[in-house]
Amino acid sequence: MCPPTYFDVVYAINPWMDLSGSVDTDLAVAQWETLKATYESRGHRVDVVQPEPGLPDMVYAANGGIVVGGRALAARFTFPERAAEGPAYERWFATEGAPAYTSLGQSVEVMEGEGDLLVAGDLLLAGTGFRTTPAAHAEVAERLGLAEQGITLVPLELVDPRYYHLDTALAMLDDGSISGSRTVAYYPEAFSPAAQETLRELFPDAVVASAEDAAVLGLNIVSDGLHVFLSDRATRLADDLKDRGFVPVGIDLSELLKGGGSVKCCTLELRPAVGPLTPEMTR
């Protein structure tokens, strides 16, 4: 995670950003600290990436790259306003992340990290349509060695600009590593008809989110397979999760929502090279 020390809305690169509004940076920091403490209170370890001046969106750590099997690939951003974040996260992977994670450098193609790349057990769900390109999917598969890790990449096209990253429209709830069954939640209307059909085939028992919960970025979720950390505004989704046996943990990130991000956007998950995942290893 990266604290929102320099968070502000000074440009508009997604529909959530409103240049006529105001941002309370102190409140954003306090909300971020609450999220971090909430993870830690559930037994998760949080590594902190130091923010850099002039990068107001660096708080959205999920976009900084992806780590699978101990291999870390830093992002390359679509918009020039965020371009310097890729090298910043690359430096963290190469220094603070080592030796636990091997840095592969920065992607060549436009690839916005876990914003568009979500690990679902032996699948890597890969969003495209607004940010991460199909060419980046191929690069990710090759450089992370997905085939040798037994992971299949599944492309999913996004069509609603409000849900410009995959992690705003779909959440991994249970990767199946313990239960043996993968579970996701998603908002169908954010996806193309072909992607909707793919999701129905892969996840027939998915939690289908309402338009109201999607519209507060309620699907921007982090789950450890039991606790589901999500926006406290996504009340219907929280009830649906309870019915499925999950424990929803509501978090107020109202200030960070002004930049187009919530819980998952603030969280880059680190996956080790070998051995089963534990809470201490995954955050």
DSSP characters over 129-182 = SSSS-HHHHHHHHHHTTTTTTT-EEEEEEB--GGG-SGGGTEEEEE-STTTSS-
pLDDT tens per residue across span 161-177: 999 999 999 999 998 87
Is residue 36's pLDDT more than 60?
yes
Predicted confidence (pLDDT) per residue in 234-280, tens digit:
999 999 999 999 999 999 999 999 999 999 999 999 998 854 434 44
The pLDDT of residue 180 is 77
Q: pLDDT tens digit string along 245-256? A: 999 999 999 999
Share of the chain above pLDDT 70, in %: 96
* 165 belongs to the catalytic site: yes
At residue 98, the pLDDT reads: 82
Q: What pLDDT is stored for residue 256 in this prediction?
A: 98
Q: For the chain, report the end-to-end CA distance as a whole number of angstroms.
A: 9
Cα separation, 82 vs 32, in Å, equals 20
Considering 2, 165, 227, 266, which one is annotated as catalytic? 165
19 alpha-carbon distance from chain centroid:
24
pLDDT at 97: 87
C-beta atoms surrounding 194 within 10 Å: 11
In this predicted structure, the answer to whether residue 24 has a pLDDT above a threshold of 70 is yes
Domains of the chain: which residue ranges? 25-282
| CA nearest to 31, candidates 215, 233, 187, 280 | 233
Per DSSP, the chain holds a count of helices (H) and strands (E) of 8, 12
Q: Is the link from the previous residue into 99 a cis peptide, with omega within 30 of 0?
A: yes
Q: What are the tokens at 245?
A: 């046996």
pLDDT, mean of residues 87-92: 97
Going edge to edge, which strands form the sheet with 170-174? 170-174, 183-186, 207-208
Q: pLDDT value at position 283?
A: 31
pLDDT at site 274:
59
User: How do residues 202-222 score in pLDDT, each as one tens digit?
Assistant: 999 999 999 999 999 999 999
Give the architecture (CATH level 2) of 25-282: 5-stranded Propeller (3.75)
Which residue in 137, 227, 265, 266 is the catalytic one?
Answer: 265
Which amino acid does the sequence have at 202?
A: L
At residue 21, the pLDDT reads: 93
Task: Check if 265 is active-site.
Answer: yes
* Per-residue confidence (pLDDT) for residue 168, from 0 to 100: 98
DSSP letters for 5-18: TT----S-SSTT--
